[in-house]
Amino acid sequence: MTLVFATNNAHKLEEARLILGARIQIKSLQDIGCHADIPETSDTLEGNSLQKAKYVWEHYGIDCFADDTGLEVEALHGAPGVLSARYASEAHDSAANRKKLLESMCGKSNRNAQFRTVITLIKGGEAEQVEGIVKGNIASKETGSGGFGYDSLFIPQGYDRSFGEMTAEEKAAISHRKRALEELCKLLQSTK
């Protein structure tokens, strides 16, 4: 089976290919000649995920999936959430986002957080959504240089290392995206 992953994020594409392996051939937006900056104007992860998948389906008529991921921090009432990539500014500056998160968490004892990924699958014009969640805590300082985004600040539950200290394979084995992609696989098996 071949699906287009509606993302321009090379890290996400690599992670999805690593997780799905040979089960699903994943094409990128570049593979189908889509160079558009697909809008993400919803105020929810679900809305953005649907918006991106619909864009590919409506413009290319190809079965596809799209995701949106947010880091949801309890002490910040779910922020940065849907604004995770643009938390500090519209520039999608990961270093600035991490710095702002650490500043926002200063003096807070509740460090509980979760990464949540919502995937929208559009197959034959029908849209369905699944999600994956990994719970954890926000570290008091950055640790590790692996991964991307907030990985150096997020310590998954049951571990004493951040995603940034893990190899790509270690992170992929427990990540929110893996859990969402596993749900996507189940969905695909049930819609054959």
Mean pLDDT within 128-132: 97
Catalytic residue among 37, 68, 93, 151: 68
Output phi, psi for 179, to 5 deg: -65, -40
Output phi, psi for 68, to 5 deg: -140, 140
Least confident among 19-23, 47-51, 97-101, 170-174: 19-23
CB distance 147 to 166 below 8 Å: yes
Report the relative pairing of strands 2-5 and 25-27 from DSSP bridges.
parallel
Annotated active-site residue 68? The verdict is yes
Predicted confidence at residue 10, as pLDDT, reads 83
Predicted confidence at residue 192, as pLDDT, reads 59
Cα separation, 135 vs 122, in Å, equals 27
Mean pLDDT within 141-168: 94
Mean pLDDT within 150-160: 96
Whole-Å CA distances, 122 to 86, 146, 188: 26, 32, 10
Cα separation, 101 vs 140, in Å, equals 10
CB distance 96 to 89 below 8 Å: yes
CB atoms within 10 A of CB 76: 18
